[in-house]
Amino acid sequence: KFCGGPAGGRLDEAAALAAWETMRAAVASREVEEGMEESDSVLSRVQRDAGFVDACPVHRIDVATSGCLAVALDGAAAADLSAQWRDRDVCKTYEAVVAGVVASDAGDVDLPLRRVGASIRRQGRPSRVVVAEADEPLARASRSSYAVSTRGADRTVLALTPHTGRLHQLRAHCAALGHPILGDWLYGDGASADRLCLHASALAFRDPALGCRVEVASRSAWRLVDGASPALVGELTWSL
């Protein structure tokens, strides 16, 4: 984001780092003013417990989503990783358990999404997205791919790949297919599982320091038991 911009308006590395620090300071100040300081989070643990005080996030996953999350340890790494996310050089894979039996073994969902409810977010209620026509104001192109991993009696495990990075994209696209993610209180039935059954299973990107491709994977598996909430079992691995 800080190395991007329209043609002729790109920032060099020094200006990008300065913009990043300015934004971080402004956000921190705003959070203090509004009483929004995080008492516990992935970022606070990396900064406080691991000692990387300049660490900053380069992407986000929903609070109810488990799995892989990238955190840059300094401003230079943040600028590099942010550029990779902007240029869509990062590969992301998710695993989800959805309601019903998905008939097709694989497919694409190419449905624009429009954000609604942004004005009520600060009232404690979450914003969400809806499927929109491509020519609607504020509609944004959104594309996801899915492949069936396992079929149960009344649910399906899907491997999901988002090709764009919209708010709640995978959740909204699964719901649009007629197969909402189990436990999804915004786009499906929150009582259908003990948690949102969405897991960020893998991330692949170029390491800013080493210059080589890195894959971080949570080798997880959703265990399906009839009449019970799905359970996630697995371990975290990484490779160069």
Active-site residue set: 62
Name the token pair of 218. 């949570």
Name the token pair of 166. 């919209």
Q: How far apart are the C-alpha atoms of 122 and 126, rounded to whole Å? A: 8
Name the token pair of 190. 């929150």
Report the SS3 class of residue 81.
Answer: helix
Q: Is the dihedral of CA 140, 145, 150, 151 positive or negative?
A: positive
Q: Which residues of 98-124 are buried (b: 16+ CB within 10 A; e: fewer)?
A: bbeebeeeeeebebbbbbeeeeeeeee
